[in-house]
């Protein structure tokens, strides 16, 4: 019975991955990673603009979201009795469930309208707010499972609380932290809706921060519904690249955790 439901649950996943691979593979070649998208009915070209745009925006978003999210997660986990932690932890849950389109529109008003241009900065801001609650929550969860006896052992040695948190608690829970950050990156890399209203599209790689910027999800969205057969294949190819990126990210998370939990040797 359980086996049956597991099989039913993974069938759609397998079908989607299969479809993406079959449809996207014809577009993949070395030039797919080095060229910009083609004109209608003129070969497959490449998705360099999307790869670079996504890398730029996800990178910027990570730079913003990691310190804030990890900081918030530490606060939620280490000061649970604080009212502010309770309140902001609740807000964090709300944020995690927030429609990402609304988040995009918020930054449209805040950044796109005030700077009068779609931009990588607006896109990165929207993505960072989407990553933030994921990172904060996984940080909190991975620090909470660090046994209280380790904190006490450290405190009993005369180590101040903040040092106990940063040197003992975080180092013990760091594989969970890394997982959270990678999950946040994977989530942000796949977001489409907020980028449509914040980053827009550009047919070549980004050259400035305040300029419309392409992204992989936008290419999938835009080229996929255009109706030109070569563009459809480009969209499938972009989807394949994105799915492969996420799979690699997820597998490396698993490998990293596996290595951590079995590692017996440590450095002097």
Partner 1 sequence: MEIQTEFEAREEETKLSIPTSLSNVQPKFETRGLKAAFGSNWVLKGIDMKIPPNKVTAIMGPSGCGKTTFVRCLNRLHELTPGATVEGEALLDGENIYARSADPVAVRRRIGMVFQKPNPFPTMSIYHNVVAGLTLSGVRDKKKLTQAAEQSLRGAYLWDEVKDKLTNSGASLSGGQQQRLCIARALAVEPEVLLMDEPCSALDPTATAKIEELMTNLKERYTIIIVTHNMQQASRVADYTAFFYLGKLIEFDETATLFENPREELTERYITGKFG
Cα–Cα distance for residue pair 262/49, rounded to 1 Å: 41
User: What tokens does 254 get?
Assistant: 């698993």
> Least separation, in Å, of the C-beta of 149 and partner 1?
4
- How many residues touch partner 1 under the rule CB under 8 A: the total is 28
Check binding of 268 to partner 1 (CB under 8 A): yes
Considering the complex, state which of residue 57 and residue 168 has its C-beta at the smaller distance from partner 1.
168
The distance in angstroms from the start CA to the end CA of the chain is: 50
Considering the complex, state which of residue 39 and residue 171 has its C-beta at the smaller distance from partner 1.
171
Residues 134-163 that bind partner 1 (CB under 8 A): 147, 149-160, 163
> Least separation, in Å, of the C-beta of 74 and partner 1?
16
76 Cβ partners below 8 Å, 6+ apart?
A: 85, 88, 89, 92, 136, 139, 140
Helix axes 229-262, 216-224, angle to 10 degrees: 150
Check binding of 5 to partner 1 (CB under 8 A): no
| Number of Cβ atoms within 10 Å of the Cβ of 177 | 22
User: Per residue in 216-253, is it b (16+ CB within 10 Å) or e — as a string?
Assistant: bbbbbbbbbeeeeebbbbbbbbbbbbbbebbeeeeeeb
Which of 40, 43, 80, 258 contacts partner 1 by CB under 8 A? Answer: 80
Considering the complex, state which of residue 163 and residue 254 has its C-beta at the smaller distance from partner 1.
163
> Least separation, in Å, of the C-beta of 158 and partner 1?
3
Site string for partner 1, 40-79 (x = CB under 8 A): ----------------------------------------
Considering the complex, state which of residue 29 and residue 171 has its C-beta at the smaller distance from partner 1.
171
Residues 200-259 that bind partner 1 (CB under 8 A): none
Stretch that binds partner 1, among 40-48, 122-130, 164-172, 185-193 (CB under 8 A): 164-172
Cα–Cα distance for residue pair 100/126, rounded to 1 Å: 8
Check binding of 182 to partner 1 (CB under 8 A): no
User: What tokens does 259 get?
Assistant: 């290595």
Q: Is 263 helix (H, G, I), strand (E, B) or coil?
A: coil
Cα–Cα distance for residue pair 179/215, rounded to 1 Å: 24
Cα–Cα distance for residue pair 182/256, rounded to 1 Å: 11
Considering the complex, state which of residue 161 and residue 254 has its C-beta at the smaller distance from partner 1.
161
Supply φ then ψ for residue 263, to 5 degrees: -65, 120
DSSP structure class, residue 204 = S
Residues that bind partner 1 (CB under 8 A): 80-81, 147, 149-160, 163-164, 167-168, 171-172, 174, 263-268
């Amino acid at each position: 019975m359980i086996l049956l439901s597991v099989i039913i649950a993974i069938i759609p996943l397998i079908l989607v991955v299969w479809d993406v691979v079959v449809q996207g593979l014809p577009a993949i070649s070395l030039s797919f990673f080095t060229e910009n998208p083609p004109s209608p009915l003129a070969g497959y070209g490449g998705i360099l603009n999307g790869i670079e745009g996504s890398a730029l925006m996800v990178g910027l978003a990570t730079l913003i979201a990691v310190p804030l999210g990890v900081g918030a997660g530490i606060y939620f986990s280490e000061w649970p009795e604080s009212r502010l932690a309770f309140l902001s932890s609740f807000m964090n849950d709300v944020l995690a469930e927030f429609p990402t389109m609304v988040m995009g529109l918020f930054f449209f008003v805040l950044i796109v309208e005030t700077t009068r241009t779609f931009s990588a900065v607006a896109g990165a801001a929207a993505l960072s707010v989407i990553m933030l609650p994921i990172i904060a929550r996984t940080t909190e969860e991975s620090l909470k499972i660090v046994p209280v006896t380790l904190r006490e052992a450290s405190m009993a040695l005369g180590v101040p609380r903040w040092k106990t948190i940063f040197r003992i608690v975080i180092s013990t829970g760091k594989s969970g932290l890394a997982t959270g950050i990678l999950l946040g990156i994977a989530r942000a890399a796949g977001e489409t809706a907020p980028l449509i209203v914040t980053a827009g599209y550009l047919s070549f790689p980004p050259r400035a921060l305040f300029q419309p910027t392409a992204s992989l999800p936008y290419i999938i969205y835009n080229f996929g519904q255009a109706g030109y057969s070569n563009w459809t294949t480009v969209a499938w190819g972009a989807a394949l690249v994105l799915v492969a990126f996420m799979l690699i990210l997820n597998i490396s998370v698993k490998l990293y955790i596996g290595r951590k939990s079995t590692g017996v040797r440590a450095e002097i």
